[in-house]
């Protein structure tokens, strides 16, 4: 079981390596939740990034608990989704969910406190007006005999803390994403 987990983790890391951060010209990029391009973005008080994910397909058919790490920013997101296409397509999924990783459509994030820092932030598990993951849309992109591929659009806000710090420094972080997610038709 440990080998399967390690292989799955390595595969997910390789997939997210396909997400490349565009060249930064020094001007802040606005998070655009209406964009049709696959992406993941975050905005913290100290820095921001909008990561191109056009080459990333997250495989929920094999693992409903997804995570991916960006090489360029060293940020990692966690998203729990249904593995079956009929569950993914349910219109009742379009709503807000808690920050965390325990139930479907929970979302969380780890990221360096500033670009290149080894000090990392993690989202605090909670659900209120300042901490949520909102699924904005779920659209079938294409399908084959065994799998259905969905574009999942979401936006989030969360209160984050420094991992391992006892004085509980808090940072408010927000962002959005449009991700391609593969689900099983069986």
pLDDT, tens digit (0-9, with 9 covering 90-100), for 62-108: 888 999 999 999 999 999 999 999 999 999 999 999 999 999 999 99
Return the residue matching tokens 């936006």.
Answer: 155
The residue extents of the domains of the chain are 2-19+40-184
What's the rounded mean pLDDT across residues 120-128? 96
Closest CA to 75 of 100, 101, 41: 41
Task: Give tens-digit pLDDT for 136-185.
Answer: 999 999 999 999 999 999 999 999 999 988 777 899 999 999 999 999 99
How far is the C-alpha of 38 from the C-alpha of 53, rounded, in Å? 5
Give me the sign of the Cα torsion angle 111, 57, 139, 72: positive
CA neighbours within 13 Å on the CB side: how many for 29?
20
Task: Give tens-digit pLDDT for 14-39.
Answer: 444 445 444 433 333 444 445 789 99
What one-character DSSP code corresponds to residue 153? E
pTM for the model stands at: 0.82
Q: Find out whether 70 and 40 touch, Cβ atoms under 8 Å.
A: yes
């Amino acid at each position: 079981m440990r080998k399967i987990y390690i292989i799955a983790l390595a595969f997910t890391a390789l997939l997210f390596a396909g997400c490349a951060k565009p060249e930064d010209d020094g001007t802040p990029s606005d998070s655009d939740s209406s964009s049709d391009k696959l992406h993941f973005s975050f905005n913290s008080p100290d820095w921001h990034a909008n990561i191109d994910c056009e080459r990333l397909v997250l495989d929920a058919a094999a693992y409903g608990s997804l995570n991916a790490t960006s090489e360029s920013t060293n940020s990692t997101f966690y998203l729990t989704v249904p593995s079956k296409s009929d569950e993914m397509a349910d219109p009742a999924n379009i709503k807000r969910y808690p920050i965390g990783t325990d139930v479907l459509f929970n979302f969380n994030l780890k990221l360096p406190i500033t670009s290149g820092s080894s000090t990392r932030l993690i989202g605090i598990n909670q659900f209120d007006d300042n901490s949520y993951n909102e699924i904005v849309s779920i659209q079938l992109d294409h399908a084959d005999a065994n799998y259905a591929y969905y574009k999942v659009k979401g936006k989030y806000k969360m209160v984050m803390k420094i991992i391992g710090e006892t004085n509980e420094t808090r940072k408010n972080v927000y962002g959005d994403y449009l991700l391609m997610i593969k689900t099983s038709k069986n």
